[in-house]
Amino acid sequence: MSEVIVKAKQGLLRGKVVEDVRGEKHYAFLGIPYGKPPVGALRFKAPQPADSWSGVRDALEEGNPCKSKHSEKFHLQGDEDCLYLNVYTPQLPSLTPEKPPLAVMVWIHGGGFHTGSSTADTYGPFFILTENVVFVSINYRLGIFGFLSFDDPSLDISGNAGLKDQALALKWVKENISAFGGDENNITIFGESAGAASVHYQILSPTTKGFFHKAILQSGVAINPWAQGRHLSDELAEILKIPGASEKKVYEELMKKNADELHELQIAVPDHFESGRKRPWVPVIEKPSPNAFITEDPIEILKSGKFHKIPILMGYTSREGLLMYAFSTMANKSPIIEDTEQEVPHFLNFKKGSPESKKIAESIKNFYFGKEEPSSENIDKGILLTSDTFFIRGIQSAAKHHVKSSGHPVYLYRFSIDAGLNFLKNRLMKLKESGTCHADDLGYIFHSEWTPYIVPDSHEDIIQRSVLRLWANFSKHSNPNVGPKDNLIKIEWKPIDQDTLHFLDIGENLTVGVDPDQSRMEFWNKIFKGYDHAKHYNVLCYLYDKDKTCLSLIYAVIIIELFFSVWTGTKDEMQFSPIIETKQGLLRGIVKDNTYTNIPYFAFLGVPYALPPLNDLRFQSPKEPQTWEGVRDVIDEQPGCYSRHPIFGSIVGCEDCLYINVFSPELPEKKVDFVPKPVMVYIHGGSFIQGSGSLELYGPEFLIAENVVLITFNYRVGLLGFLSLQDPSLKVPGNAGLKDIVMALKWIQQNIASFGGDPQNVTIFGCSAGAGSAHHLIASPMGKGLFHKAILQSGSLFCPWSIGTGYVDHLKEVLHITNEKDMLEVLRSIPDHQLLELQEKLKETHGNLNKRVHGPVIEKNNSGEEPFLSEDPLDLILSGRYNKVPIIIGYSNREGLVYAIYNKLSDGTIQQLPSFEQIIPQWLGYPNGSSESKTIAEQIKRFYYGEEEPCMANVDNLYLLLGDSYFLSGIAFTVRAHVHTSSMPIYLYRFSIDGRLNLYKRSLNLEFYGACHADELGYLFKGILSKQLTPNSKEEITMKRMTKLWTNFAKTGDPNPAEEDSLLNVKWEKCGLNAMNFLEIGDDLTTGKNPDYNRMSFWDDIYKSNPSTSKHFIVE
């Protein structure tokens, strides 16, 4: 058999047969695309999954390497279209289905993040395949292509695209490797140098959870100084001869260049490769965003223990620093370290030339060289120095951190053999100095074009097979000692424990020992103890040292003093790591500093308010959360519900998402005179298909300054939240997402008093679909007693997008399944990403002509559980059978600008409506194309455009039309309906300020008049897109006005201040039967009556003219 075909998720692949070094047959599938080519608009950005293909795709040749210089031959190679991987396997389930799946080893190549590829010329797996494993190698973007970063969120280039490529490849392996005979639940990632640091970054990143199960790190970790980079936009601007240019301008200039020109630009940025400097074009710490790979310093992640807990095998070569010696000699530079100050690690943050830096440099020189001056006579001392600063110190430190926090074994090795297979020293560089060079271990793992003939049973052969056996044993069993019983492995390699740094020396023989290179590591430990720049919580990470010395009283005092330095209350009021008792158990929160007021507040993040809706609970109504024993840490947010990010469009979250965040300015513990605070519960928007309560958009700093308790939370969206089946036995009646909100509100009623909140004074508020959800809660009997006021921002249940279909009819067409039970089995069997793909295949109507696919439904089945909505909410409101509470409701003056976000053409113009009929509300009952529908469509066109045709010159008319039909007409009707059916006050506003905090308009660079849909959120919440507030600017003044109005209402049911307030210098009147009073929130606060009267009257006339709707839509 010369070729074989395998079915991957994207399509069929044709592979070929290859042989290992023993002549045994294996199957190779080469050049498999795992990501879309990152070219054009995708250049520099996070990778996208590869497209599917039809027919059989040849996987017979390796894919392009990524653009870079060849790591051994130094010529420029590769292409931007380079996201490919290779799979080698001894077996295929299609040919031998009886064989169990094999352990999988995924190789991430090194090359300093600037060079390299997965080619078999360098990394031939023909040794590895003899150990009966599946081998995968990947390409990822390098240099400027893989590690360009900008702070400007609108560019969506936060950095680390190369690491994100690796993560996408690992996801591909997880999803597809079973088709190649691999075990998707036994994946080991391994790499050398920058490949090892990449492996470490994958362990540290929260984005790769579940993609792998073990790791091997050869000569590299994320805390090595060469693995941490800097942002380069200012340097690029200088090189591009546009000094001081914005990041957007720099990006535009880069996009004009071809790949070769970009590579020339890359190497124009000096890479000094010194411990004392951060490097260019390597991983960086990103600002929090949906596409972020890593947002904290790796050392902080290690100390906090917030990484993937897996077995690890890691180590280094005895003379790693021979690499720097080789670099110097190749560049015709002196290999002598003439300035030991360059070896002072950059993360100590001492400026070169400072007294502290010079003092450390002198200590380094004295320790490594004694009374000698660095020279050619003591070159080995310099090699040891660079070995330690660049590699060994960081590797040993990382190993210890993993042992302290992981609970899984960590095996440490030192590679010291000096023989013919030493890859870099003897095969490439021909170095004469003693010791084992960086990358020398590669020759014992990979069969490359540099591999010499190996004499069977020679010393090199035995060591090579021993190393490979250890690596394979670990990959298969998480223990390098467990494997075939033969004479290769005759020692027991112990993992590191809390007391002893066990290690294996791979030299002329395999030997074991403890504390390798101890005296040199103790020197560096003293350096770091003497210059501890760690934050106060880092001290807590070392509760004891090697001899179990307890945390000293001095350290405890330091912690307390550091915390009190930002606390404005008394010491009796202070709580560090506050603990709260809830119905489910004890919670430990965190104290955060309000970056706006500098007054600390209490945060409890990621509190479960319901059971994870997984497996059989997928699509069902939420269930009560479980209780727990002990104290549960709630100091980090949990993921949002699985969906696309509402701004960036990337896939975020997971199905285990029913979590709540509580922010409180004060806790009631032990305070007799404590007065509970009003509670404000924010319901996020996102068209019922996306969004979360994440801090990245909804930070509490502005609102909590007004002395309220703020709550944000997640609820299920899309198919997961709004699937509705008619068969009552299936227990999926619909509105699971709204029932999640009800469950969250019940949790608040049961528990909020413990956080300082008043359960009898709860205000729900939301924007867009969040406002629609809040209005549905007002209409639903399930909302009774759970809240006491409501704020509806740019949405109500009378907006045409607020009612959905429940999906079933659309799913029948796509799945070709008519039986609901069969449909549910399919929907529960597919993973979340396929469910989202299915959801996005369902044809959505963005006009008013039909009900939306997505969103709340009127429940029709009798499943035995309480329905959220069993009647038309319109009938509930108009008959007065709803939860009557005070309401604030309003809109932005150009709601329709949101249309520009999704309908902007490549030339910058806005796509016009294909037909005015799509604007006609579906509840008028006129079929598309009917004479009545055409007549109303003509009336709409004439009213908004007169005799003009729609074009860019009158595009503002389009935004008014869309805003009116999607939002304003429904909001105006809501006001009238509540005024006529409730004695509770209702306050109307129009938001018209156009400032730097307008959330959507500024983040998406919309250059049109007016305030866009959701723009007011930037004045209520502090998020990652928030601009710095200038004191007394219109943005700060508006923020203060809105937070005061909103919180005044939450406190008393009246947005007007109880006492005179210079910021709120007008009286906001409630709406009455004869006057729709409103507040204009613009550069100033002004009041008026009947906003946008002419346009609203036009829509009223349309509803009046229709017999089936006049009785509903016009409240006399």
For 269, 327, 369, 386, 752, the CA distances from 333, given in Å and listed in that order, are 19, 8, 21, 16, 67
Cα–Cα nearest to 78, from 64, 92, 61, 60:
64
Beta strands in 452-565 (DSSP E): 502-506, 510-514
Q: How many CB atoms lie within 10 A of CB 1082?
A: 17
* Catalytic residue selected from 62, 131, 320, 820: 320
With b for 16 or more beta-carbon neighbours within 10 A and e for fewer, the 73-104 pattern comes to eeeebbebbbbbbbbbbbbbbeeeeeeebbbb
Residue for token pair 């506050």: 578
Active site residue 938: no
- Name which of 703, 739, 708, 707 is nearest 722 in CA terms: 739
Through-space distance between the first and last CA atoms of the chain, rounded to whole angstroms: 82
**Which phi and psi (to 5°) does residue 429 adopt?**
-95, -20
User: Could you give the angle at the alpha carbon of 725 between the alpha carbons of 720 and 726, nearest 5°?
Assistant: 165
DSSP assignment string, 41-77: GGTTSPP-BPPP-SSEEE--SPPPPBSEE-TTT--EE
Share of the chain residues as helix, strand and coil, in percent rounded to the nearest 5: 35, 15, 45
Q: Judge contact between 828 and 730, C-beta under 8 A.
A: no
User: For residues 272 and 440, what is the distance between their CA atoms, to the nearest angstrom?
Assistant: 23
Mention every residue, 6+ apart, whose C-beta is less than 8 A from residue 16. 2, 3, 4, 27, 28, 30, 60
Going by DSSP bridges, is the β-strand pair 84-89/68-69 parallel, antiparallel, or unpaired?
A: unpaired
Measured distance CA(882)–CA(32) in Å, rounded: 58
| Contact call for residues 438 and 478 (beta carbons, < 8 A) | no
Q: 651-652 and 643-644: which strand pairing?
A: antiparallel
Provide the residue count of the chain.
1116
Q: How far apart are CA 404 and CA 542, in angstroms?
A: 9
User: How many whole angstroms separate alpha carbon 287 and alpha carbon 151?
Assistant: 7
What radius of gyration, in Å, describes the C-alpha atoms of the chain? 32
Q: DSSP string spanning 818-847?
A: --HHHHHHHHHHS-HHHHHHHHHHSPP--S
Closest listed residue to residue 838, CA positions, set 723, 942, 696, 746:
723
Contact between 710 and 699 under an 8 Å Cβ cutoff? The reply is no
Sign of CA dihedral 139, 145, 149, 155: negative
Question: H or E segment at 562?
Answer: helix 553-564
CB-based contacts of 879: which residues, under 8 Å, 6+ apart? 981
Q: Which residue has the tokens 């870099």?
A: 424
* Candidate list 149, 193, 466, 475, residue with the active-site label: 193
193 is an active site residue? yes
Q: Do strands 677-683 and 1085-1089 pair parallel, antiparallel, or not at all (unpaired)?
A: unpaired
Per DSSP, helices labelled H in 305-435 are: 322-330, 355-369, 379-387, 393-406
Round to whole Å and give the CA distance between 753 and 760.
Answer: 10
Helix (H, G, I), strand (E, B) or coil at 32: strand
Residue type, 932: E
User: Across-strand partners of 6?
Assistant: 13
Beta partners for residue 633, in sequence order: 588
Q: Which residues pair with 86 in a beta bridge?
A: 137
**Cα 459 to Cα 508: distance, rounded to the nearest angstrom:** 8
Beta bridge partners of 13: 6, 57
Q: Where in the sequence numbering do the catalytic residues fall? A: 193, 320
